[in-house]
Amino acid sequence: MNNRTEVKLNNNEYLGFRNLFYVSRILPFIMIETLFYIIFSALLTKYDAVNGRQFSMRVPEIQRSFDDTLPQRHTKTASYPDTISQDNLLKAVVSRSDSLIWIRGDIKKDYRIFGYQSPSTKSKPLILFSVFTRDVTDNPYNCKYGAYYSTSDLAFEDTRIKFRGFDGKFALAQFIIEGNVADTFYFERKWLTFIK
């Protein structure tokens, strides 16, 4: 008779021991990698104890090429404002029945429609409708009535824009809030189309 007892492991217990074995074999490598990371990061950064600031000892060319790979925040640069494709334009629609002006936002079409204070593109913009997020977010053109993707996005309740006529290359429009004319502004005529 044998005094030795045999221990049988079920499948889950066996897998647990097997995983523990692999972790114990790989753990020293992880610790060594972490140690190298700490040492090399300390070597790449030097602390100026006198002035209390850190500065990098990296080679400037390498640092610049690394910085170029980082995502840049959008700013008004030479590529701003975004260019409009003349082949794929969206125009404001004027209803002949009630003279209301509608601009439906369409991400697949290009448009940047300003409502100016007077019939000149040099005058102050009062409102803007644009497909471009950089034109709308935070109202970068400081339009008095804001910047929007479409007329359905207007911030005021019961708001309408009504066509009143032409003034040369511009169309006169009234900004109506709750039945009262709040202001008048001018759209460039090229941005309007009429429907029945």
**Residue 12: band (very low, low, confident or very high) from pLDDT cuts 50, 70, 90:** low
CB atoms within 10 A of CB 129: 29
Specify the pLDDT at position 78: 47
Confidence (pLDDT) at 65: 47
pTM of the predicted model as reported, rounded to 2 decimal places: 0.58
Tokens, residue 113: 């429609």
71-98 pLDDT tens trace: 444 445 445 677 777 778 888 999 988 9
Q: Tens digits of per-residue pLDDT, 93-128?
A: 999 889 999 988 888 888 999 999 999 999 999 999
DSSP string over 159-195: EEEEEEEEETTEEEEEEEETTEEEEEEEEEGGGEEEE
Q: Answer whether residue 146 shows pLDDT above 80.
A: yes
**Averaged pLDDT, 12-23:** 59
